[in-house]
Amino acid sequence: MRALLQRVKEAAVDVGEERMGACGPGLLVLVCAMQGDGEAEADKLAAKISKLRIFKDDAGRMNRSITDIGGAALVVSQFTLAADTSRGNRPGFSAAAPPEDGERLYEYFAEALRGLGIPVETGRFGADMQVSLVNDGPVTIWVET
């Protein structure tokens, strides 16, 4: 699985006029299941994200995790993280898991984060979503299992 993490002061995801989820402060997690991924990869990714020390401590150093600060996560599916740009000018997405597997693993991953004590809200899998955020730092981290 792949995830792009953005440390945020706040983030929200809308589908049309409907607010699907929001968080802040914490993480916006854009996540993509890849071909061959399963629950083990989702669990590993959730555990890594829950422990990643990318929030400031009292000295201003990145030394705290999302659980340390009592932060929340907004998890949004994004199959375009599987983009292959090695040939031509149009990215290919064949490395992404099929939609039914992608949706199952996306939901499983969100539940795995919740199981680690992180409040989680989500977007809607496969929908045309509008994501807004106030990036804190900015801090943007790529994580892959």
CA dihedral sign of residues 12, 38, 86, 128: negative
Note if 6 is an active site residue: no
Q: From CA 26, how far away is CA 23, in angstroms rounded?
A: 7
Note if 130 is an active site residue: no
Beta strands in 41-129 (DSSP E): 55-56, 62-64, 72-77, 120-122
Of the candidates 35, 80, 130, 140, the residue annotated as catalytic is: 80
Mention every residue, 6+ apart, whose C-beta is less than 8 A from residue 13.
19, 20, 21, 22, 74, 76, 121, 122, 123, 129, 130, 131, 132
Of the candidates 6, 35, 55, 78, the residue annotated as catalytic is: 78
Note if 125 is an active site residue: no
Judged by DSSP in three states, 135 sits in strand
| Positions marked catalytic | 78-80
